[in-house]
């Protein structure tokens, strides 16, 4: 696209953005996107998007909901944004991928004192594994050979069920687990890490019909503010 065409598209985008705020759906996943103690949106991914939005002529209307609900509402709304879905093959066609934000490991966790073998997915195949309920994740887990999965609403629920021995293992993002432990006042040593399913990146994404001109404005902002995004992430790690 030549500069003249892009500038024309950007002008149209600015006019549209000034007239109507964009919805930003936050899938409730601490420490990336969640409600803080003051009941306001917060988290690493949310701060990153707020930084990017400084370069765009728009107003964001943020709503924190469970991730599965965020996916459902995204389909039902006018063009909207969502954070922080992991970019995995099963989701590739569900969203428009705007900007990468946070690298994570999707991996198995078990109670430290349990005898359950989570050293590989072959060993854990017959265990009941807790997974977060969100589109694309169950398919990814089944592709790893897991036979029994239990859908969970949050990492906080996963931690409680592990510590109460109501589940032998969970499969989720590493940083989310350690944040949930810290919030519950539980030492990291109470859990042990197992096999890693994938190293993925959490993204700022958009609904499938999100306007191309606006999407490009977000992507350019992400390029300009790359060092600021890295600083925000470092403050959460």
Q: Which fold has domain 3-103+201-234?
A: D-Maltodextrin-Binding Protein; domain 2 (3.40.190)
Give me the pLDDT at residue 121, please.
92
Q: Do domains 3-103+201-234 and 104-200 have the same CATH topology?
A: yes
Assign residue 165 a region (left: φ > 0; alpha: ψ between -120 and 50; beta: otherwise). Answer: left
Tokens 């600021």 label which residue?
A: 228
Among 56, 43, 101, which Cα is nearest to 230's?
101
Q: Where are the alpha helices (DSSP H) in the chain?
A: 3-19, 44-53, 67-76, 137-143, 155-163, 174-184, 212-224, 226-234
Q: What is residue 75's predicted lDDT score, i.e. its pLDDT?
A: 77
Q: What is the pLDDT of residue 2?
A: 55
> Hey, what CATH topology would domain 104-200 get?
D-Maltodextrin-Binding Protein; domain 2 (3.40.190)
Domain residues of the chain, as ranges? 3-103+201-234, 104-200
Task: Give the mean pLDDT of the chain.
Answer: 88
Q: Stretch 16-25: mean pLDDT, rounded?
A: 74
Residue 32 has pLDDT above 90, yes or no: yes
The C-alpha angle with vertex 71 and arms to 20 and 89, in degrees rounded to 5, equals 120
**86-106 per-position pLDDT tens digit:** 998 889 999 999 999 999 999
Instruction: Give the pLDDT of residue 13.
Output: 54
Which pTM does this prediction carry? 0.80
pLDDT digits (tens, 9 = 90+) for 170-209: 998 898 888 888 888 999 999 999 999 989 999 999 999 9
């Amino acid at each position: 696209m030549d500069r003249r065409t892009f500038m024309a598209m950007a002008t149209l985008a600015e006019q549209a953005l000034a007239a109507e705020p964009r919805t930003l759906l936050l899938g409730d996943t601490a420490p990336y996107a969640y409600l803080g103690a003051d009941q306001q949106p917060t988290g690493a991914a949310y701060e990153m998007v707020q930084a990017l939005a400084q370069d765009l002529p728009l107003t964001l209307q943020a709503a924190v909901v469970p991730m599965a609900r965020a996916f459902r509402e995204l389909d039902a709304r006018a063009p909207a944004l969502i954070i922080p879905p992991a970019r995995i093959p099963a989701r590739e066609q569900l969203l428009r991928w705007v900007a990468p934000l946070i690298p994570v490991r999707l991996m198995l966790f078990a109670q430290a004192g349990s005898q359950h073998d989570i050293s590989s997915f072959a060993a854990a195949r017959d265990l009941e594994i807790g997974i977060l309920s969100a589109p694309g994740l169950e398919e990814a887990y089944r592709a790893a050979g897991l036979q029994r999965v239990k859908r969970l609403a949050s990492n906080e629920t996963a931690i409680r069920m592990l510590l109460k021995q109501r589940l032998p293992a969970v499969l989720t993002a590493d940083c989310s687990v350690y944040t949930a432990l810290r919030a519950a006042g539980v030492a990291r040593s109470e859990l042990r890490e197992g096999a890693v399913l994938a190293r993925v990146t959490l993204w700022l994404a958009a609904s499938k019909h999100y306007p191309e001109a606006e999407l490009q404005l977000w992507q350019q902002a992400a390029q300009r503010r790359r060092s600021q995004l890295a600083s925000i992430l470092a403050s959460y790690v």
